[in-house]
């Protein structure tokens, strides 16, 4: 059961991702969460650093696609500003969001990574689909009330995984 909540990689942020190391794993596409992964929760400001990161990933040959449980207008705006596609109207951890993202990118499960800041949506959804799961620390502590409650359980799971030496923060 614990393996469904155990990320394959645990990072401080998206900017710590070593693209060469995931290329070695035959990853060709990255499904990436929006809130507290790419941008602070509910923020509309897209920094140049983030645009540079997405352009670098694309230049290195990766396909990118946003998968988010946020509102259509916000996802669409960020998708357009970053120049990458997005999945709308599907909710993680349901499989349909991940399947739609892989269809958009043209990847198979073994070629796909998911980057997100939540264990119960991003990691769990990725693991049950057979995708490479990358957990990042949330950018901001500002988030929905429900998410703050879930963070209490997430912190316990992360502590257990760290104590069992199943994950370390890179």
pLDDT of 169 reads: 83
**In Å, what is the CA distance from 24 to each residue of 8, 27, 28, 118?**
14, 7, 10, 25
Strands 86-87, 63-67: pairing is parallel
pLDDT of 158 reads: 86
Question: Which element (helix H / strand E) includes 63?
Answer: strand 63-67
Cis peptide before 136 (omega within 30 of 0): no
pLDDT tens-place string over residues 75-84: 899 999 999 9
What the block records as the tokens of 2 is 């614990």
pLDDT tens-place string over residues 42-59: 777 888 999 999 999 999
What is the Cα gyration radius of the chain? 15
Dihedral in degrees, nearest 10, Cα atoms 52, 54, 56, 60: 180
Residue 40 burial class via C-beta count within 10 angstroms: exposed 0-12, middle 13-18, buried 19 and up: middle
CA distance 99 to 105: 10
Task: Give pTM, 2 decimals.
Answer: 0.91
pLDDT at residue 98 above 70?
A: yes
Percent of the chain with pLDDT over 90: 64
pLDDT at residue 165 above 90?
A: no
> Of 48-52, 54-58, 131-135, 137-141, where does mean pLDDT reach its minimum?
137-141
Residues with Cβ within 8 Å of 135's Cβ and at least 6 positions away in sequence, in order, are 7, 9, 10, 11, 116, 117, 119, 122, 123, 167
pLDDT at residue 143 above 70?
A: no
- How would CATH label the architecture of 2-163? 3-Layer(aba) Sandwich (3.40)
pLDDT of 44 reads: 76
Question: Which element (helix H / strand E) includes 153?
Answer: helix 145-163
What the block records as the tokens of 78 is 């960020």
Name the band, by pLDDT with cuts 50, 70 and 90, for residue 12. Answer: very high
- Per-domain residue ranges of the chain: 2-163
Centroid of chain to Cα 104? 16
């Amino acid at each position: 059961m614990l393996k469904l909540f155990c990320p394959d990689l645990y990072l401080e942020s998206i900017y710590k991702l070593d693209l060469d190391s995931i290329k070695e794993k035959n990853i060709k596409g990255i499904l990436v969460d929006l809130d507290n992964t790419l941008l602070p929760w509910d923020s509309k400001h897209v920094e140049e650093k983030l645009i540079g990161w997405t352009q670098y990933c694309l230049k290195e040959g990766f396909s990118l696609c946003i998968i988010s449980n946020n509102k259509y207008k916000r996802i669409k705006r960020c998708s357009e500003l970053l120049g990458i596609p997005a999945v709308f109207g599907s909710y993680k951890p349901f499989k349909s969001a991940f399947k739609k993202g892989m269809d958009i990118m043209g990847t198979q499960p073994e070629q796909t990574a998911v980057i997100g800041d939540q264990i119960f949506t991003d990691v769990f959804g990725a693991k049950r689909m057979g995708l490479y799961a990358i957990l990042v620390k949330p950018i901001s502590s500002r988030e929905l009330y429900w998410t703050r409650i879930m963070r209490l359980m997430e912190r316990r799971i992360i502590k257990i995984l760290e104590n069992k030496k199943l994950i370390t923060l890179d």
